[in-house]
Amino acid sequence: MEPDLFTNISNNEHEEIISLRKELTDANYRYYVLSQPTLSDKEFDDKLRRLQDLEALHPEWSDPNSPTQKVGSDLVGGKFERVKHQYPMLSLANTYSQEEIQDWLHHLPENVEIVCELKYDGLSISLWYEDGYLVKAVTRGDGVQGDNVLANIRTIGSIPQHLDGVPKHFEMRGEVLLPWERFEALNREREEQEEPLFANPRNAASGTLKLQDVKEVAKRGLTCYLYYMLGEDLPAETHYDRLATAKQWGFPVSDAIRVCHSIEEVMEYIRYWGEERKKLPVATDGIVLKVNNFRQQVSLGFTAKSPRWAIAYKFPAEKQLTLLRAITYQVGRTGVVTPVANLEPVQLSGTIVQRATLHNEDFIRSLSIQAGDRVWVEKGGEIIPKITGKEGETNEEGYHYIFPETCPECGARLVRIEGEAAWRCPNEEGCPPQIKGKIEHFVSRKAMNIDGLGEETIGLLYDQGLLRTIADIYDLKAEDIARLERLGDKSAANIIAGIEASKSVPWARVLFALGIRMVGETTAKKIARRFRSVDELQWATKEQLMAIDDVGEQIADNIIGYFAAFGNIEILTRLKAAGVQMSATDEETPLGTALEGQTIVISGTFTQHSRDEYKVLIEQYGGKNVSSVSKKTSFILAGEAMGPEKRKKAESLGVPLVSEEEFLAMLSNN
């Protein structure tokens, strides 16, 4: 009996549907929650469209949990207050085809006005205003509910906190963005710390908005553009007029919005911004088209996950085919060896690309690339060039890529720790890039902040034999520096002054500056609060270290390993002798235990101390600062003009309010 061809096709399509659903669900999680995308936008959209086509052919296999029926979720478990949207927050249908845009326009009612807007590539946000006050800032989440990130949103200066003469209740929706300039600076800092780089500003903005440290959020410099107003009894009958009103109220609304009355005007807008967007200070990845009249929007309605009255046209990613001339290798300060693609120069998004990271051995082998291949380089909405594939099929017999066995800088045999993708050079004390990298980290702004000791100067001092460890910095003499190329007496004096000033840097920053692997700025602060000096930390047990928030087994092992190395003990002894702060000062020392184990929210304005000063006091008395009210909140330190939403939430949960005077009395009694 011959096999049933149609049965085989059907089974194959069912397997493909299941496979696509699993792959897209995982991609959504990595994109929205982890801010670590595994698929490009185009790859994701192509797979989603294939899934939609298969599900249309086989309605008997429908599933309400399919990625075609749900909005990708950015919900972060346990970190923020979960809030249900007043109106569902749906995603837009999108296309990469201008012909499909024209088809969509043809199916709309006659004489309809279309509002064209730039599609900003950031994180969607919903701002809720009550009685003129900003009371909630909710992420898209899963479209039905999102995370309230109000404290982080308050760091964006362009978002109004209070307005007069506005409707009693309304909502503004928009996009939180990290400007290109800030994105590049952030990635430079992460590269210095050998932390994974953000692929694009969207992922950086998403990761920033989900941080628990409001100060760190403020430092990164987020911005925002708002593009939709929702609510009842709102001004204007059209989308464009309503945005014009919002702009008059002080909301950040783009100047690039335009009302179009024909297909020709829409296509001209798309062509114009296809080039001009490259000059903007923030990332854009397309154009959004919306029906202007609200009554027509209501008439057109919605699908399960997107409105029928709006669509997004996404610009195709720019990619070029070029020659992979060679693969070279860079050694970082922690010994990680990173392969780099050296390319035949090619122009992408207005810049010449000659190099691109290849991440690690596994990445290279996954693409089966080697020197001499012609490879696809893509930039699109991502500022970091990446290799996405190669021309032609791989001939397994002709594939001979081998990762180096020895360090390209010092010749030491490389090691690869189980569970890690990277190869490392273990020769910490004799590998030049590691030595110089540790010194560069030590003097950096967030560490010892020694002005004038940049990468070039450190290189010159290293070449002269004057710098081999971070402790050597404190033996430098002005005359040693002044005689170096391109330096002089004035530069030397400034560097010596910076070295002297670094001796007053607090213990927590000194700990970060030491460059212990995986001990970042925030983790160093937490460790320094528990272990008040280098002498205490040196004898800490693994169990004691792992009892600290954010310190896991690997970080604990790294700390213990650092103090087990004789060379490090010698360096610490010299730093202490030079006068570097190797223990906590009075300002850093705990003042008591009055707030031990208590979780406290600060709201309102105060007269005797600033909010930041109160946060420091809470930590010095053993308490923990949090931004949102929950059942776990011990009390709210309530000042003048306390947020009405926090007051309402406190009343519903029975969380007590403590005045400024009562709070200071609590500390005084302790």
3-state secondary structure at position 270: helix
- How confident is the model at residue 15, as a pLDDT? 79
Rounded Cα gap, residues 220 and 123, in angstroms: 15
- Chain position carrying tokens 């020895």: 406
- Among candidates 401, 251, 257, which has minimal Cα distance to 329? 401
Residue 23: CB atoms within 10 A of its CB come to 16
| CA distances (Å), origin 424, targets 94, 217, 265, 411, 416 | 43, 32, 56, 12, 6
Residue 398: CB atoms within 10 A of its CB come to 7
The architecture that CATH gives domain 599-669 is 3-Layer(aba) Sandwich (3.40)
Q: Which has more confidence, 600 or 27?
A: 600
User: Where is average pLDDT lowest: 8-17, 123-132, 171-180, 408-417?
Assistant: 8-17
| CA distances (Å), origin 188, targets 294, 399, 451, 472, 664 | 45, 34, 17, 26, 42
- Cβ-proximal residues to 135 (8 Å cutoff; 6+ apart), any chain: 128, 129, 150, 643, 644, 645
- How confident is the model at residue 670, as a pLDDT? 64
Which CATH code, of 3.40.50.970, 2.40.50.140, 1.10.1040.10, 3.40.50.300, is assigned to 319-391? 2.40.50.140
Question: Average pLDDT in the 538-559 region?
Answer: 91
- How confident is the model at residue 319, as a pLDDT? 82
Rounded Cα gap, residues 571 and 575, in angstroms: 6
Q: Which stretches of 533-602 are DSSP H helices?
A: 534-538, 542-546, 553-564, 566-578
Torsion angle, alpha carbons of 356, 357, 358, 359, to 10: -160
User: Where is average pLDDT lowest: 60-64, 80-84, 303-307?
Assistant: 60-64
Give buried/exposed letters for 625-636 (b at 16+ CB in 10 A, else e). Answer: bbbbbeeebbbb
To the query of whether residue 119 is one of the catalytic residues in this protein, the response is yes
3-state secondary structure at position 350: coil
Rounded Cα gap, residues 143 and 72, in angstroms: 8
Rounded Cα gap, residues 83 and 138, in angstroms: 7
Provide the terminal-to-terminal Cα distance of the chain, rounded to the nearest Å. Answer: 89
3-state secondary structure at position 132: coil
- Encoded tokens for 179: 């400007």
- Encoded tokens for 486: 């391109």
pTM: 0.56
- How confident is the model at residue 507, as a pLDDT? 94
Question: Average pLDDT in the 524-531 region?
Answer: 89
- Encoded tokens for 654: 């029975």
- Chain position carrying tokens 């306390």: 642
Cβ 510 vs Cβ 448: under 8 Å:
yes
Catalytic residue among 22, 42, 84, 119: 119
Cβ 71 vs Cβ 140: under 8 Å:
yes
User: pLDDT exceeding 70 applies to what percent of the chain?
Assistant: 91
The architecture that CATH gives domain 5-61 is Orthogonal Bundle (1.10)
Name the most confidently modeled range: 229-238, 307-316, 467-476: 467-476
- Encoded tokens for 433: 């890039």
Instruction: Indicate the pLDDT class of residue 348, thresholds 50, 70 and 90.
Output: confident
| CA distances (Å), origin 152, targets 208, 214, 217, 390 | 9, 6, 6, 42
Backbone angles phi, psi at 625, to 5 degrees: -85, 130
Rounded Cα gap, residues 549 and 399, in angstroms: 46
Residue 489: CB atoms within 10 A of its CB come to 12
- Among candidates 659, 615, 665, 617, which has minimal Cα distance to 637? 659
Residue 93 class from Cβ within 10 Å (0-12 exposed, 13-18 middle, 19+ buried)? Answer: middle
- Helix, strand, coil proportions of the chain in percent (round to 5)? 40, 20, 40
User: pLDDT exceeding 90 applies to what percent of the chain?
Assistant: 47
Check whether domain 432-578 has CATH 1.10.150.20, yes or no: yes
Domain with CATH 1.10.150.20 in the chain: 432-578
Question: Average pLDDT in the 406-431 region?
Answer: 91
Rounded Cα gap, residues 544 and 538, in angstroms: 12
Cβ 375 vs Cβ 356: under 8 Å:
no
Residue 350: CB atoms within 10 A of its CB come to 10
Please state which CATH number belongs to domain 81-314: 3.30.470.30
> Which H helix or E strand runs over 302?
none
pLDDT tens readout for residues 593-651? 788 878 899 988 888 887 777 887 887 787 888 877 888 899 999 988 787 778 888 88
- pLDDT, mean over the chain: 86
Question: Average pLDDT in the 419-446 region?
Answer: 91
Strands 599-603 and 635-638: parallel
